[in-house]
Structure 1
Amino acid sequence: MKIAVSALEAGLSAPVDPQFGRAKWLVIYDTETQSVESIDNSANMSLTQGAGIKTAELVSKHNCQVVLTGHLGPKALKTLQAVGIEGYNGITGTVRDAINSWKEGKLPKA
């Protein structure tokens, strides 16, 4: 299973970005292989509208099943749900902390 986390920087030690659509990075963690891939999302940062939808589409293209972020807007959430991706809001700390909290079942769904 792949988990996408909005991040301010690349890597597991990066702080979680409080925004989803305009997050600078998406850190993708594969629970099966434990591999980590950091995707530059800066192209969506300057969009005046639709950043959440574009970022949701990017997450879908990378075959993620879960999104962890500080804030997931309603349009982005609807886009994710339409393709079967679970969203989780209100996430803080590092990407690693967010993934561990998700694994432990401590995060509420958006």
Structure 2
Amino acid sequence: MKIAVSSKGKITDNSLDPRFGRCEFFQIYDTEVKATKIVKNKGQEASGGAGIAAANQLIDEEVDIIITGSLGPNAFEIMEKADIKAYKCESIAITDALEKYNNNELEEITIAGKAHHGVNA
């Protein structure tokens, strides 16, 4: 299973970024090989549709789970159609977010958050 976490940096001690579409990186932890892959979020610099770009990127990475702050309506719809579950977490260390997921301490995101528009949203 692959778990993607929206991240403010490239190491697991970095904090989770609550912004999905505009986070700087995704840290993708593969539970089978116990390794983390760092990918730069393609949606970060998009003038619009950041959540869509980020969602499609994670589909291409074949993730099963997303841990983030919230998903906008477009990203939420894409993830729902792809049968990828998303979980809400506050801005804590990536390792702590993964531990909370493993302990069933995170709330599943079942409704979309508000839409954001533009680079500074």
TM-score range for the pair, normalised by the shorter chain length: over 0.9
Aligned to 2:44: 45
Aligned to 1:76: 75
Between structure 1 and structure 2, the one with the greater Rg is 2
Kindly provide the amino acid, as one letter, of the partner of residue 74 in structure 1: P
Aligned to 1:54: 53
**Residue identity (%):** 30
Q: Distance in 2 between matches of 1:37 and 1:5?
A: 11
Aligned to 2:117: none
| Unaligned runs of at least 5 residues, structure 2 | 110-121
Matches within 5 A, 1:6-25: 6-25=6-25
Structure 1 length normalisation: TM-score?
0.93
Structure 2 length normalisation: TM-score?
0.85
Aligned to 1:107: 106
Q: Distance in 2 between matches of 1:26 and 1:33?
A: 18
Q: Distance in 1 between matches of 2:45 and 2:39?
A: 16
| Unaligned runs of at least 5 residues, structure 1 | none
Aligned residues: 109
What is the Cα deviation at residue 38 of structure 1? 0.4
The 8 Å contact of residues 11 and 37 in structure 1, kept in 2 or not, is answered as no
More helix by share: 1
